[in-house]
Amino acid sequence: MHTDLVAALDIGGTKIAGALVDGAGSLLVRAQRPTPAQEGAEAVMGAVRGVLADLAASPLWHRAGAVGIGSAGPVDASAGTVSPVNVPGWRGFPLVDRVAAVTGGLPVTLVGDGVAMTAAEHWLGAARGYDNALCLVVSTGVGGGLVLGGKLHPGPSGNAGHIGHISVDLDGDPCPCGARGCVERIASGPNIARRALDNGWRPGPDGDATAAAVAASARAGDPVAVASFERAAQALAAGIAATATLTDIDIAVVGGGVAGAGEVLFAPLRRSLRDYATLSFVQGLTVTAAVMGTDAGLVGAAAAASTVRSGAANGVRAVAAP
């Protein structure tokens, strides 16, 4: 039997998406359920089972040879468990074993959602052809992943590249993670909006007080809106420069809703990078926008599974059902 497809799952706090993905990264069959994030562990697992059942109803299902999961973090790839911040019912939930059981013993690969997005951008997107890359998602939170030495680098826990929770301001504002001055605490969409509001920016008649509305004001020249994006860009630049200095990457790919602000974010980001990426071996660092869009999580979960199955990534084990 020809098992050339990966059953991919993208698990977030709002929805659980699934797809059968082929070797070219095409999504042949899709399924989706809302995440019952405030319900218990079994209710959330029920939604996962529903997505898998929808996929299994496809005549293509028999070609699925593996499952790849990208999940909101933190995840524990070595234990096969997930504890997504936005899904309180899942703490140390044994997702890998449960999915393996549901799918009749397919090998299951688990990575964090930032790592999945990175796998997608490296396979088919803006990081294609780069052997050393950081990919970031700047959205409600800030996540990321790494490609090192030509391979996805999930790390033993599946969370490597989690740039949102490195501190770039060690005396800065407390972050919900417990630390201070994390990149996410300064650069996430909600924090861009909050900072603008704190400094006197007001939403328009539609009442939209999101980072997207702040971006629109910034494009129109509002100095408070511009300053809020500049501060976010400064924090991202410090974090990207730190990552480059530590891991010797050649490119940083920035995606997620906040990256949709375009030059309002990218222009100050490139300027600030010159301030922080100062050593000779990181001065050539390129920053560019992600290109894979909202399917990146599914494409990347499939890529992570394929990569791991072919033995090309460090630190993630594929787990078969007992």
Candidate ranges 54-62, 147-155, 199-207, 286-294; the one touching a second copy (CB under 8 A): 147-155
CA dist 302 to 5, 22, 26, 115, Å? 8, 8, 10, 12
x/- contact string, 236-275, with a second copy (CB under 8 A)? --x--xxx-xxxx-x------------------------x
Residue among 279, 310, 311, 322 that touches a second copy (CB under 8 A): 279
The nearer residue to a second copy, 159 or 217, going by C-beta atoms, is 159
Candidate ranges 59-67, 100-108, 143-151, 202-210; the one touching a second copy (CB under 8 A): 143-151
163 binds a second copy (CB under 8 A): yes
Residue among 165, 211, 225, 300 that touches a second copy (CB under 8 A): 165
159 binds a second copy (CB under 8 A): yes
CB of 191 closer than 8 Å to CB of 108: no
Other beta carbons less than 10 A from residue 204's beta carbon: 10
Other beta carbons less than 10 A from residue 130's beta carbon: 18
The nearer residue to a second copy, 17 or 175, going by C-beta atoms, is 175
118 binds a second copy (CB under 8 A): no
The nearer residue to a second copy, 17 or 238, going by C-beta atoms, is 238
281 binds a second copy (CB under 8 A): yes
Whether the link from the prior residue into 74 is cis, omega within 30° of 0, is yes
The nearer residue to a second copy, 86 or 210, going by C-beta atoms, is 86
Candidate ranges 59-67, 99-107, 171-179, 192-200; the one touching a second copy (CB under 8 A): 171-179
Burial of 133 (0-12, 13-18, 19+ CB in 10 A): buried
Residues in the chain, total: 322
Sequence-ordered list of residues with C-beta below 8 angstroms from that of 121, at least 6 positions apart, any chain: 127, 128, 133, 135, 253, 255, 290, 291, 292, 296, 300
DSSP-assigned states of every residue in 38-99: TS-HHHHHHHHHHHHHHHHTSTTGGGEEEEEEEESS-EETTTTEE--TT-TT-SSB-HHHHH
286 binds a second copy (CB under 8 A): no
Structure token pair of residue 181: 């001055």
192-231 binders of a second copy (CB under 8 A): none
Residue type at position 275: D
Minimum Å gap between C-beta 217 and a second copy is: 24
Block residue for tokens 């499939």: 302
Residue among 9, 48, 64, 160 that touches a second copy (CB under 8 A): 160
70 binds a second copy (CB under 8 A): no
CB of 166 closer than 8 Å to CB of 183: yes
Separation of alpha carbons 272 and 170, rounded Å: 18
315 binds a second copy (CB under 8 A): yes
Give me the residues that bind a second copy (CB under 8 A), please: 74, 76, 83, 131-132, 146, 148-150, 153-157, 159-163, 165-171, 177-181, 234-235, 238, 241-243, 245-248, 250, 275-281, 314-315
